[in-house]
Amino acid sequence: MDVSRKKKWVAWAVAAAIFVVLMLVTPAIPQDEAYHDFADQRTLFLGIPNTLNVISNIPFFFVGVTGLILCHFNNYFRLSSQGELWSWTLFFAGVTAVGFGSSYYHLNPNDATLVWDRLPMTIAFTSVMAIFIIERVDDRAGAKSLAPLVIAGALSIMYWRHFDDLRPYAVVQFVPCIALPVMAIVIPPMYTHSSYWLWAAGFYLLAKVEEAADKTIYNWTHQIVSGHTLKHLCAAMVPVFLALMLAKRTTEPERISLLQKWKTSWVAVRERRFKDSSTVDVDCGYAVVSSISEQ
């Protein structure tokens, strides 16, 4: 076994060991039944209960289907390997399924229907993790990690449903939220336009804030729109930015991390400011001296 493969196995073993330790030393996290008590429970039209929370999932469907088509129609996204193709296909399939699963859940919010909301989200999260490994670490390792990651995500949902313990699901959901932005900044990308990852992460963070402030936003807007409805719309912007990134990006000629680019830009700005501050404007007055002596 070569050194690089050994390091990869060590990394996976360390990650598994950390997960096991966390499961042993932390208490179970049961599903809070108050989670299903959303601020906006109005039936506005067509007899759809929780109308805005249901129909605000429609963008997921359209963005997901568009992404699937562009992945496979003449390879519009210019995906360079089978690992990339499968990973992005599963990502956009998960986004599409969120449109159905989350709508189904919000028609009748309870633990049983929540499974169909969370399952497609885990498919999207875990697919993105595999994509990052492909792009930032190693193509083959990322492709091989896709199936185990997706299966682990599905198992976290099953574990929660049968044992009423959200710890594995929390790991699946929140570890990518921390790891992906860090990897996007620190590890040199394979492609250009990698800053789109940060835009996507920013919209996802905003969506989580809106989810937490569901009732507060509903009151602030005088019961026009709730935080959870806005959460759906902001979360749908994540695949929008990633699809735009795929459409625009090309192979990076020089693999330089965003962190290194920021450092270079910061140094250039500091040097420019230093030069500007050290420049002294000198006004020179010239006098005309006649070389002809007065007679």
Annotated binding site for Zn(2+): 106
Closest alpha carbon to 245 in 194, 188, 204, 205: 194
Closest alpha carbon to 63 in 263, 245, 259, 237: 237
- Alpha helices, H only, the chain: 3-25, 51-55, 58-72, 82-107, 111-132, 139-163, 167-186, 195-212, 214-220, 227-248, 258-278
Dihedral over Cα of 76, 80, 84, 86: its sign:
positive
Dihedral over Cα of 148, 153, 156, 162: its sign:
negative
Binding residues: 106
- What three-state secondary structure class fits 251? strand
CA angle 14, 18, 21 (to 5 degrees): 135
Closest alpha carbon to 232 in 38, 22, 16: 38
Q: Within 10 Å of residue 171's Cβ, how many Cβ atoms? A: 18
